[in-house]
């Protein structure tokens, strides 16, 4: 890579074979191995070519919109939009957005455990309730 990093999947500790998605690695280091090309504000990964600047889009809210959920890929890998909405909306009548976010994180963590995988991705969630 022109910026001095390297791109390849993780290597299995026992077999030595590559597995999983391609990741960006610091040159000569065992980590971080980011499975992405963009990492908001991550200026360490920026030194090897990962873009630290977010992509910003504008979404016009409609009168019927009630909720905004911002979550990391650890949520979206195991939950659909509908799954997340069903969990979060349970807290809408009481206006408990923090409780809704915690419930989404708990549900995503449970789904990761049920998946049989040996590790979880990062699980982060913010919920906003709209008037």
By three-state DSSP, how is residue 10 classified? Answer: strand
In DSSP terms, 67 is beta-bridged to: 129
Say what percent of the chain tops pLDDT 70: 74
Q: How far apart are CA 92 and CA 65, in angstroms?
A: 12
Is a pLDDT exceeding 80 seen at residue 1? no
Say what percent of the chain tops pLDDT 90: 44
Is a pLDDT exceeding 60 seen at residue 37? no
Q: Which helix (H) or strand (E) holds 24?
A: strand 18-25
Each domain of the chain, given as residue ranges in start order, spans 6-46, 67-129
Is a pLDDT exceeding 70 seen at residue 34? no
Q: How far apart are CA 72 and CA 36, in angstroms?
A: 12
In DSSP terms, 68 is beta-bridged to: 128
Q: Which helix (H) or strand (E) holds 119?
A: none
Most confident of 5-9, 45-49, 70-74, 86-90: 86-90
> Is this prediction's pTM over 0.75?
no
Contact 88, 71 (CB under 8 A): no
Tabulate helix, strand, coil % of the chain (nearest 5): 25, 20, 55
Q: How far apart are CA 77 and CA 45, in angstroms?
A: 22
Which pLDDT score, from 0 to 100, does residue 32 have? 58
pLDDT digits (tens, 9 = 90+) for 68-119: 999 988 899 899 999 999 999 999 999 999 999 999 999 999 999 898 877 7
At 22, the pLDDT band (50, 70, 90 cuts) reads: confident
């Amino acid at each position: 890579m022109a910026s001095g990093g390297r791109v390849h999947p993780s290597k299995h500790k026992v077999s030595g074979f590559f597995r999983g998605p391609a990741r960006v690695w610091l040159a000569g280091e065992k980590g971080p191995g980011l499975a992405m090309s963009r990492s908001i504000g991550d200026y360490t990964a920026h030194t090897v070519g990962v873009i630290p600047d977010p992509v910003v889009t504008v979404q016009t809210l409609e009168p019927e919109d009630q909720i905004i959920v911002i979550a990391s890929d650890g949520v979206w890998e195991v939950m659909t939009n509908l799954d997340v909405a069903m969990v979060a909306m349970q807290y809408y009548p009481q206006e408990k957005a923090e409780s809704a976010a915690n419930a989404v994180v708990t549900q995503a963590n449970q789904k990761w455990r049920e998946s049989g995988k040996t590790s979880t991705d990062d699980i982060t969630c913010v919920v906003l309730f709209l008037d």
